[in-house]
């Protein structure tokens, strides 16, 4: 059975409701997801040991400090590893496969999972330089994703 998006009726326009899995922001992550909605990728930096961390959390995993500030990431990084997903993890992804799921090492020294988009999956390699872009999903959630940086590989 093919996936068929349901449509939301918002006046004269109908837009598909996003039925994929979405994050549910919590007390650790609310600012991260708020920043993403404003098209900024932010990271926590410890004010005691200066290390960045990902994913966001109350206490620094390097020194246990509770003092941190949110810093804007450069949004640039390198593909540490990637896989091309061919079997959809849920019905939502049936018309999305194949797509690239990657581990991205950001310039700030932390690693995050994301998708490398705007390219053929066959064009992605480990070591590729990538930069963040933002995919607005709905009023609450924007997902940071990545694309290859032209001319750098």
Partner 1 sequence: MRLKSGAFNRVVAIAGVAESDCGQGIPLTALQHQALAAKRALNDAGLKLSDVDSLMAVGFLGLPSLQIAEYLGLRLRFTDTTVTGGSAFESLVEHAALAISAGLCEVVLITYGSSLWSDRRRVIEGGGVDPQMPAAQFETPYGDLSPISAYALAAARHMHEYGTTSEQMAEVAVSSRRWAMLNPKAVMRQPITVKDVLDSPMISKPLRRLDCCLMTDGGGAVVITSAERARDLRKAPVFVLGSGFATSHNTITQMSNATITEAVNSGRQAYGMAGMTASDIDLIEIYDSFTISVILALEDLGFCNKGEGGSFVSGGRIGPSGALPTNTSGGGLSYTHPGALGIFLIIEAVRQLRGECGDRQVHNANTALVHGIGGWLSSHATLILGN
The shares of helix, strand and coil residues in the chain, as percent rounded to the nearest 5, are 10, 40, 50
Q: What is the spatial distance between Cα 35 and Cα 72, in angstroms, rounded to a whole number? A: 9
Residue 73 in contact with partner 1, rule: CB under 8 A:
no
Q: Which of 4, 8, 16, 55 binds partner 1 (CB under 8 A)?
A: 55
Identify whether the C-beta of residue 20 lies closer than 8 Å to the C-beta of residue 92.
yes
Decide: helix, strand or coil at residue 92.
helix
Contact flags string 25-44 toward partner 1, x per CB under 8 A: xx--x---------------
Question: Minimum distance between the CB of residue 13 and partner 1, rounded to whole angstroms?
Answer: 25
Residue 91 in contact with partner 1, rule: CB under 8 A:
no
Paired tokens of 54: 């990902």
Name the site residues for partner 1 (rule: CB under 8 A).
20-26, 29, 54-55, 80-89, 93, 96, 98-99, 101, 103, 111-115, 126-127, 141, 143, 145
């Amino acid at each position: 059975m093919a996936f068929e998006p349901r449509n939301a009726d918002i006046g004269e326009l109908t837009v598909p409701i996003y039925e994929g899995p979405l994050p549910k922001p919590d007390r650790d992550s609310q600012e991260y997801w708020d920043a993403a909605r404003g098209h900024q990728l932010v990271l926590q930096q410890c004010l005691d040991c200066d290390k960045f961390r990902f994913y966001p959390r109350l206490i620094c995993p390097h020194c246990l400090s509770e003092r941190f500030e949110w810093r804007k990431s450069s949004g640039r990084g390198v593909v540490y590893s990637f896989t091309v997903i061919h079997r959809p993890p849920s019905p939502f992804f049936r018309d999305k496969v194949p797509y690239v799921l990657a581990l991205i090492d950001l310039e700030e020294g932390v690693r995050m999972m994301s998708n490398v988009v705007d390219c053929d999956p066959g064009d992605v390699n480990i070591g590729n330089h990538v930069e963040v872009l933002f995919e607005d999903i709905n009023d609450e959630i924007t997902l940071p994703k990545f694309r290859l940086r032209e001319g750098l590989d």
